Chain A
Amino acid sequence: MDLMGIMYLEIIAGIAALFLLLIPLVRVARDIIPYVFSTARIRAKESKLIQGDKLEDLITADSLTEVFSYLETTEYARYMQDLMLTGSEAVERTLLSQMADTYVEVAAMVPKNVQSTFAVLAQVWDVRNIKTVLRGVQEGIPSDDIRAHLLPAGELDQKELYDMAELNTVADVVSALEETRYAVLLEALPRYEEARNMFHLETALDRVHWESTWATVEQTDVVPLKKYLAICVDTTNLKTLFRAKKEELALDSIQSSLISGGSVLKTAMKAFEEVDVPGMVLALEGTEYYSALSNAVPEYEQTESLIAVENALDRYMIISGRDISIKQPFGIGPLVGFIAQKEAELRNVRAIARGKEAGLSVDEIRNVVISI
């Protein structure tokens, strides 16, 4: 081969090397591109969230009517037509209806590898509906009133839910769920009947929901989603343990209600050995929840109400979701952050509506609102 031939070969090799440089770039683009559309869409949705000044306007509203008027200027307006409820219940219904649609929208946006998680997450509506039926039946509320509070957006359809609302006893409702994924309620039924405490059935429902959701991410490498769901599981378990401690229940009686998963279950169960709620908080030192919980202890000691502790956990969960969204701007982060912020919006507007209806002061309402 002459010199020219060698030179040609060198040039061809050089150009091939240039194109090899593109491979890592294509890999970066491949990781980002599936999320670009959904991330931007979520950012646009975030602009409509009721936060900051908008939230402050609601907090300082003169009455529930003013809250209604404000919501009619937002995307909630179309959910406010033909409401069968009144007062804060109508606001809550509006919020939940919009939230149900949000879950469906977000589930449709996510890439295939996490679609199953979001699909299972959306079954939270079944849990909410079953809790509504159980409470309604226990209190002897007429079936029409129970139906008005149901929102068929999960696996259980309207007919199944409406049929359950017609039943006469809690045991009948639990039996009606025998063929569903909520059959585990049958195991919790004797504990409910012994104490007539809905705590056992509600925590069993939460357990089914979160264990199903956790199972879909446990083996995946979608770290931000896994981290957020671990926090959801942990906060649910911690709330269960704090409530049990407050009601002086034994660990044995609630152990079956605790969700296996998360990151602090063992530590939390060990903390349950302490005599009271502040002692439990102290025993959680070293966990990521300690700082948030310890700040709530003085208010708990003053009011003897778990609201401060539960608010602290909710706040931590929502802020963690938002932080995941900031730390991972492309990927599952913004979707997780949006769900967390949407849950905060629901919680806040519902609290404001109930507060206005009950005649609470602006400061009292501000205390229960989670600002992020």
Chain B
Amino acid sequence: MVVEITMGVSLAALGAGIAMGLSAIGSGIGVGIAGAAGAGVIAEDPDKFGPALVLQALPQTQGIYGFLGAILIMIGTGILGDVVAVPVEVGIVLLGAGISVGLAGITAIGQGITAASAIGAAAKTPETFGKGMVLSVMSETFAVFGLLVAILLLVGTGLI
């Protein structure tokens, strides 16, 4: 299958790239920060690997949202799946959808910082693991909103 590359499709592809790229930056930095904290804790107490791993995984979700947003854009425009005509105006809407998911993915940096603190807190007082998890998940809300807006834009334009 060969997709006809129109201006609309190009803009949508740009949106998909931004969705995945910015989310990946956010998740990469977030997971890196939490991972450094995890390494610090297991250097002292290797038994704390489990809680550290769970908290380190939290900032990865923004990357998954970015990936999901990008896939939806690609399916909607026919880059993957059935070919559809994508006018420039729709392409701009899809670019907006990609930007929404991508920028929301940067919240993973904040989540990584919170997760790093929660890893430290759980290392000091193991009972705080659950509470630290709740605090870390808070940043996730805005990443979910970003993905939701992108899905609504795709639904609104009738692409999915």
Instruction: Spell out A's residues near B (CB within 8 Å).
Output: 4, 11, 15, 18, 21-22, 25, 28-29, 32-33, 36-47, 329-330, 334
CB distance from A344 to the nearest CB of B (A): 16
Check A44–B41 contact: CB distance below 8 A: yes
Instruction: Spell out B's residues near A (CB within 8 Å).
Output: 7, 11, 14, 18, 22, 25, 29, 32-33, 36-41, 43-45, 48, 95, 99, 102-103, 106, 109, 113, 116-117, 119-121, 123-126
CB distance from A28 to the nearest CB of B (A): 7
The 9 A-B pairs at the shortest CB distance, nearest first, are namely A40-B40, A43-B120, A44-B44, A41-B40, A40-B37, A44-B123, A36-B36, A37-B40, A40-B120
Check A18–B18 contact: CB distance below 8 A: yes
**Given A4-B7, A11-B11, A329-B117: A40 and B45 within 8 A (CB)?**
no
Chain A residues touching B, majority SS: helix
User: With contacts A29-B109, A37-B37 known, what are 15 further pairs, Cβ within 8 A?
Assistant: A18-B22, A18-B103, A21-B103, A33-B32, A33-B36, A36-B37, A39-B117, A40-B39, A40-B116, A43-B123, A44-B120, A47-B45, A47-B126, A329-B120, A330-B117
Check B40–A36 contact: CB distance below 8 A: yes
* 16 A-B pairs in the complex with CB atoms less than 8 angstroms apart: A25-B29, A29-B33, A32-B33, A33-B32, A36-B37, A36-B116, A37-B36, A40-B36, A40-B38, A40-B40, A40-B116, A41-B44, A43-B41, A43-B124, A44-B124, A47-B123
Check A330–B14 contact: CB distance below 8 A: no
- Which residues of chain A come closer than 8 Å to B11, judged between CB atoms? 11
Check A44–B40 contact: CB distance below 8 A: yes
**Given A18-B22, A40-B123, A46-B124: A25 and B36 within 8 A (CB)?**
no
- Which residues of chain A come closer than 8 Å to B22, judged between CB atoms? 18
Check B44–A45 contact: CB distance below 8 A: yes
**Given A29-B109, A330-B113: A15 and B18 within 8 A (CB)?**
yes
